[in-house]
A and B are shown apart, each in its own frame.
Chain A
Amino acid sequence: MAEPLLKIENLHAYYGESHALQGVSLEVNEGETVTLLGRNGAGKTTTLRSIIGILDDRRGSIRFRGQELVGLPSHKIGRAGIGYVPEERGIFASLTVDENLLLPPRVADGGMSVAEIFELFPNLEERRSSPGTKLSGGEQQMLAMARVLRTGARLLLLDEPTEGLAPVIVQRIGEVIAMLRGKGFTIILVEQNFRFAAKLADRHYVMEDGHVVDTFPNSALEEKSEALHKFLGV
């Protein structure tokens, strides 16, 4: 079998003295949508931040399309074709919606055009010249996703895209993720809301205390649900 699109082996990451990831290994195949489940502080966000290189104090191996990412500066990782949607959304207050949208450079062919993006997120088009942070939380989330869809990145790291949003917007974001999955994007989704994740994912990784403690296909979700409740504390 071909090498997976992303292969993480024995990844350790540190925030100063704190040893946040303690030997994470996981694989994501091309076109797959996987979730990272786990409680707050389990290391899900840290895993995404380590992949994209925002957290650069990391050891082990992260291979993307065969290229080692550990040791690369973050801008080269972005250029390699990974799109990052941070948990805090990262919309720039001093930039308009348009400027936010156009900020990330194109890293590969095949990104969506601005017209296609506005078709997908009509709200954003009406607010093109507003400052980015004047948008509602849901609109900011959509902008954060729209921003990376333009770039041509084929691996998307989505960090809690539904956090703090109204149910109708959560549903809309779910539809968009399902559409992206249909288009063959590879997605790593960090999600607290695992009922939301269950509708979208092919596979789940469960994290605890900086380790991956379990992995199973979405079809096994039923039988795992009891164990999951224990891990997620829901």
Chain B
Amino acid sequence: MFGVPAQALYGQILLGLINGSFYALLSLGLAVIFGMLNVINFAHGALYMLGAFAAWFALNLFGIDYWWSLLLAPLVVGLVGAVIERVFLARIKNLDHLYGLLLTFGLALIIEGGFRHVYGSSGQAYGTPEELRGAVNLGFMIMPKYRGWVVIASLIVCFATWFIIEKTRLGAYLRAATENPKLVQAFGINVPLMITLTYAGGVALAGFAGVLAAPIYQVSPLMGTNLIIVVFAVVVVGGMGSIMGSIVTGYMLGVLEGLTKVFYPQASSIVIFVIMAVVLLARPAGLFGRGD
């Protein structure tokens, strides 16, 4: 198509889907946290990195394999998140929301700086789990198994999160508390606890993304720094606080970025930001934002 070999096109679309998987998982967590806490969680990239390191530690210190890490690392990161919320964020919830942004930004610098101090800027290798080595021939392209797994795992987790929030009783509490936390609490629901769990859950998604990323990208202290900037752009395009919006936008922009690499590679690293600027001009609340 347009003089582009089909293999290259499919390859970039797949790459876009994989990037999109990380964009979706991370922006979903940001959206959930923003909806409930009104905090723009700048520590999200650092906690994504922490998830990858948790898997790396687990493997190298305790011999815990990838599959267990996929379960345990998000729990560890969620626990760290719960402590951050209780110790720091809960104390500033009555202040201007900018303080939450500053606080999480500071935390990100400390966490990432601490890891860089110990491990340097270079990455640690994390092997692909045995079951997912090699590639499958899909007929129209060769797909590395692990990359396919990333897309599937991310889709499952994103959909499960969406389902919990939009279709369950717990999700109804969450949506209601996002709108009017004081009234929900007056009905007898422990909203401060819900806020802690929401933050923990949001960053656990980042931790999960970190483990997924470990075999693809190297496990490095700064792996979250570059990614998080793009993810913020995704959140802005999708609309702050919209669950489905952040998932769809994540995948969409990932693929769009991949396509740009095929057709106009020079623009591939800025295309998301160009889209962000256009969306902000045309629909300041984002594509899926409610705009209130």
Q: Which positions in A face B, CB cutoff 8 Å? A: 52-54, 73-79, 84, 86, 90, 92-95, 99-100, 102-105, 107, 148, 151
The distance in angstroms between the C-alpha atoms of A76 and B192, with both chains bound, is 12
The answer to whether A90 and B169 have CB atoms under 8 Å apart is: no
Within 8 Å by CB of A102, from B169, B183, B184, B185, lies B169
Known A86-B183, A90-B183, A103-B184; contact A75-B176, beta-carbon cutoff 8 A: no
Residues in chain A near residue B169, CB distance under 8 A: 102
The answer to whether B179 and A74 have CB atoms under 8 Å apart is: no
Closest to A157 in B: B186
The distance in angstroms between the C-alpha atoms of A95 and B191, with both chains bound, is 17
The distance in angstroms between the C-alpha atoms of A52 and B180, with both chains bound, is 15
Interchain residue pairs A-B with the least CB separation, the first 6 = A78-B188, A104-B187, A79-B188, A94-B175, A99-B172, A74-B185
Q: Which residues between 230 and 251 of chain B lie within 8 Å of chain A, taking CB atoms?
A: none
7 residue pairs of the A-B complex, CB under 8 angstroms, read A73-B192, A74-B182, A92-B175, A94-B175, A99-B176, A103-B184, A105-B187
Closest to B178 in A: A94
Closest to B35 in A: A94
The answer to whether A93 and B179 have CB atoms under 8 Å apart is: yes
Known A95-B176, A102-B172, A103-B176; contact A54-B187, beta-carbon cutoff 8 A: no
Known A95-B172, A103-B176; contact A75-B190, beta-carbon cutoff 8 A: yes
Residues in chain A near residue B187, CB distance under 8 A: 75, 78, 84, 103-105, 148, 151
The answer to whether B182 and A103 have CB atoms under 8 Å apart is: no
Q: How far is the CB of A114 from chain B (nearest CB, A)?
A: 14
Residues in chain A near residue B105, CB distance under 8 A: none
The distance in angstroms between the C-alpha atoms of A78 and B189, with both chains bound, is 8
The distance in angstroms between the C-alpha atoms of A138 and B246, with both chains bound, is 35
The answer to whether A54 and B175 have CB atoms under 8 Å apart is: no
Chain B residues touching A, majority SS: helix
Interface residue? B99 (CB, 8 A): no
The distance in angstroms between the C-alpha atoms of A151 and B187, with both chains bound, is 9
Q: How far is the CB of A93 from chain B (nearest CB, A)?
A: 7
The answer to whether A75 and B191 have CB atoms under 8 Å apart is: yes
The answer to whether A92 and B176 have CB atoms under 8 Å apart is: yes
Number of interface residues of B (CB under 8 A): 19
The answer to whether B185 and A73 have CB atoms under 8 Å apart is: yes
The distance in angstroms between the C-alpha atoms of A94 and B176, with both chains bound, is 7
The answer to whether A105 and B188 have CB atoms under 8 Å apart is: yes
Interface residue? B173 (CB, 8 A): yes
Residues in chain A near residue B173, CB distance under 8 A: 103
Contact indicator per residue, chain B 187-216, by CB within 8 Å of chain A (1) or not (0)? 111111000000000000000000000000
Q: How far is the CB of B91 from chain A (nearest CB, A)?
A: 16
The distance in angstroms between the C-alpha atoms of A84 and B186, with both chains bound, is 7
| Highest count of chain A CB atoms <10 Å: which of B172, B175, B178 | B172
| Highest count of chain A CB atoms <10 Å: which of B172, B179, B184, B186 | B186
Known A99-B172, A102-B169, A103-B172; contact A54-B179, beta-carbon cutoff 8 A: no
Q: How far is the CB of B190 from chain A (nearest CB, A)?
A: 5
Residues in chain B near residue A86, CB distance under 8 A: 183
The answer to whether B188 and A95 have CB atoms under 8 Å apart is: no
Q: How far is the CB of A167 from chain B (nearest CB, A)?
A: 28
Q: How far is the CB of B177 from chain A (nearest CB, A)?
A: 9
The distance in angstroms between the C-alpha atoms of A76 and B186, with both chains bound, is 8
Q: How far is the CB of A183 from chain B (nearest CB, A)?
A: 21
Q: How far is the CB of B194 from chain A (nearest CB, A)?
A: 10
Residues in chain A near residue B192, CB distance under 8 A: 73
The distance in angstroms between the C-alpha atoms of A99 and B9, with both chains bound, is 45
The answer to whether B179 and A78 have CB atoms under 8 Å apart is: no
Residues in chain B near residue A95, CB distance under 8 A: 172, 175-176
Q: Which residues between 119 and 171 of chain B lie within 8 Å of chain A, taking CB atoms?
A: 169
